Amino acid sequence: MDKEIIIMIHYSQRSKHCMWQLKFGICRLHTSSGNASSKEHYKVLVLGGGSGGIAMSARMKRKLGAENVAVVETSEMHYYQPIWTLVGAGAKSVASSGRPTSSVIPPGVKWVRSNVQEIHPDTNTVRTDNGMEISYQYLIVALGLQLHYEKIKGLPEIEDWVKFKIGSNYSVQTVEKTWSALQNFKEGNAVFSFPNTPVKCAGAPQKIMYLTDAYLRKTGKRATANIMYNTSLPVLFGIKKYADALWEIVKNRDIQVNLRHNLIEVRANKQEAVFENLDNPGETEVFEYEMLHVTPPMGPNPVVKGSSLADEGGWLDVNKETLQHNRYPNVFGIGDCTNLPTAKTAAAVAAQSSILDRTISKVLKNETPDRKYDGYTSCPLVTSYSTVILAEFDYSGQPLETFPIDQSKERWTMYHMKANVMPQLYWHGLLKGFWGGPGPYRKIMHLGMK
Ligand code: FAD
Ligand code: UQ1
């Protein structure tokens, strides 16, 4: 039996960076009685047991047998992150978002409960933080991305966020603080940020803003509230069809949008948020807030970044159609850790999982991969407690919609799908390796025309 000892080191002994990583459960120091300095080998080794890692473990088990597959994952819990949007708004419980990792690892697949520390693709080996060396024939990297709350100067300790009226839907430790800030809102500015980095689910930073607007209307506080979306981007949303619809909504709901504003500092004692003007470097603007929703800067997974698998930006360097690594043909990638030029979402992971399954089948037979990922991704833009605009698009930035209706309209049917259908599709479809995205259904619903 592995034993994991999480050693809490006094904060003062650690850098601020590592202090935040500790809080988010990343900087764990493990000891493992059985595994230290041991060696293991698997035909397929999966790194990361999040959405992409579990989906691919299930698919590889089906292809090759459970005994040939192992997944390295450090977290004891697996979270369905998309529901955090509704948790932050008090519409779902945080408990409903998580299940033990042990329950999502496909039965028979080996779960290596440790942190990947180094990847050595030239020797087909991986080293974990408990001194284990694992060799592989094929490697699937699904390590996700890294949150960087520590890059926002002055952001207080998470324990103090309720006091300082700060929340963030982006981590399990902070998502309930959003709901507290919403409930405690009296009057003033509700400020929502979007960082100057790639992010996962680029719609999430504004979904919580629409829910805040709806909540404050419901509780009679909207008249004394200013709602502001301060985004680093030069647009409200990257795809014009949906951006046009969202601009109408912010106009009708009296929401202020400040483009090219990047959150760099929080002065929590004064309830002030400092934004830099990205069009005029050096210029800053200070906003007082009654509620602050922080979307942290994000970056590549440090283990990927520190390996020869990374591109110059630190992301896993894969072929955008086959998901095979561009330089190491026995290495593959899926999800947020990759440099695939599409929006990082679980919906994208679903579509990628079926393509990658096919790519690996071909590679196993020494044949050329044939199916091509089109960049499909989707973002259910929650615009109230009962409506969603279902954005779906591909590499070309053009809408690629599943249903034969105008999806840029707010619809309660899509809200029902987001709140009640998607979680089931995730736990019982995607994670079991049965859901490969809506592509085949889109073709049927559009009578083969799309
Ligand atoms: P993850 O699921 O994040 O998994 C990465 C895994 O790697 C984690 O389990 C982590 O513990 C593990 N790991 C990391 N480093 C190591 C290491 N060194 N060693 C071992 N294990 C490691 N997507 C949608 O499709 N629709 C939505 O509506 C939506 N809304 C969202 C709302 C919010 C608030 C958030 C935060 C995300 C949302 N997403 C949404 C995005 C979606 O959750 C992610 O894109 C998806 O989970 C990515 O899957 P992944 O496997 O690449 O990464
Ligand atoms: C999807 O496949 C998916 O992954 C399971 C999501 O993540 C939760 C989504 O949010 C969406 C919208 C899709 C796409 C599915 C359909 C039916 C359009």
pLDDT digits (tens, 9 = 90+) for 253-271: 999 999 999 999 999 999 9
Atom of ligand 1 nearest to the CA of 53: 51
In this prediction, residue 37 carries a pLDDT of: 58
Cα of 433 vs centre of ligand 2, distance in Å, is 14
Q: Which residue out of 105, 176, 201 has the highest number of ligand 1 atoms within 8 Å of its CB and is therefore the one to mutate?
A: 201
Instruction: Select from 3.50.50.60, 3.40.50.300, 3.40.640.10, 3.90.420.10 the CATH code of 11-89+97-147+300-364.
Output: 3.50.50.60
In this prediction, residue 449 carries a pLDDT of: 65
As a whole-number percent, the residues of the chain with pLDDT over 90 amount to 89
Sign of CA dihedral 134, 138, 143, 145: positive
In this prediction, residue 146 carries a pLDDT of: 98
Helix (H) or strand (E) holding 13: none
In this prediction, residue 25 carries a pLDDT of: 40
Cα of 8 vs centre of ligand 1, distance in Å, is 25
- Does 379 qualify as catalytic in the annotation? yes
Atom of ligand 2 nearest to the CA of 421: 17
In this prediction, residue 446 carries a pLDDT of: 82
Torsion on CA atoms 9, 11, 16, 17, rounded to nearest 10: 20
Q: Whose CA is nearest to atom 15 of ligand 2?
A: 438
The model's pLDDT over 196-208, given as tens digits with 9 standing for 90+, comes to 999 999 999 999 9
CB of 27 closer than 8 Å to CB of 18? yes
Residue spans of alpha helices (H) in 16-99? 16-23, 51-64, 84-88
Q: Whose CA is nearest to atom 1 of ligand 2?
A: 347
Cα of 448 vs centre of ligand 2, distance in Å, is 20
Helix (H/G/I), strand (E/B), else coil: 166: strand
DSSP string, 88-128: HTTSS-GGGGEEEHHHHSPTTSEEE-S-EEEEETTTTEEEE
pLDDT above 90: residue 22: no
Q: Whose CA is nearest to atom 2 of ligand 2?
A: 347
In this prediction, residue 443 carries a pLDDT of: 82
What is the pLDDT averaged over residues 11-23? 39
Q: How many CB atoms lie within 10 A of CB 431?
A: 26
The residue with greater pLDDT, 147 or 4, is 147
Residue spans of the domains in the chain: they are 11-89+97-147+300-364, 149-297, 377-445
pTM for the complete prediction?
0.94
Question: Cα separation of 360 and 369, whole Å?
Answer: 8
pLDDT mean across residues, the chain = 92
State the SS3 of 254-300.
Answer: CEEEECCEEEEEEEHHHCEEEEEECCCCCCEEEEECCEEECCCCEEE
Cα of 144 vs centre of ligand 1, distance in Å, is 5
Sign of CA dihedral 172, 317, 309, 137: positive
What is the pLDDT averaged over residues 313-339? 98
- Tell me the pLDDT band of 445, cut-offs 50, 70 and 90: confident
What kind of fold does domain 149-297 have according to CATH? FAD/NAD(P)-binding domain (3.50.50)
- Tell me the pLDDT band of 39, cut-offs 50, 70 and 90: confident
Atom of ligand 1 nearest to the CA of 377: 25
The model's pLDDT over 212-223, given as tens digits with 9 standing for 90+, comes to 999 999 999 999
As a whole-number percent, the residues of the chain with pLDDT over 70 amount to 91
In this prediction, residue 337 carries a pLDDT of: 99
Asked whether this chain's domains 11-89+97-147+300-364 and 149-297 adopt the same fold, the reply is yes
CB of 168 closer than 8 Å to CB of 174? yes
Torsion on CA atoms 268, 23, 102, 1, rounded to nearest 10: -160
Q: Which residues does a 6 A CB cutoff place in the pocket of ligand 1?
A: 48-53, 72-75, 81-82, 84-85, 115-116, 142-144, 169-170, 200-201, 204, 301, 303, 335-337, 344-347, 349, 378, 380
- Tell me the pLDDT band of 448, cut-offs 50, 70 and 90: low
- Tell me the pLDDT band of 272, cut-offs 50, 70 and 90: very high
In this prediction, residue 4 carries a pLDDT of: 30
Question: Cα separation of 82 and 40, whole Å?
Answer: 34
Cα of 58 vs centre of ligand 1, distance in Å, is 17
- Tell me the pLDDT band of 10, cut-offs 50, 70 and 90: very low
CB of 403 closer than 8 Å to CB of 411? no
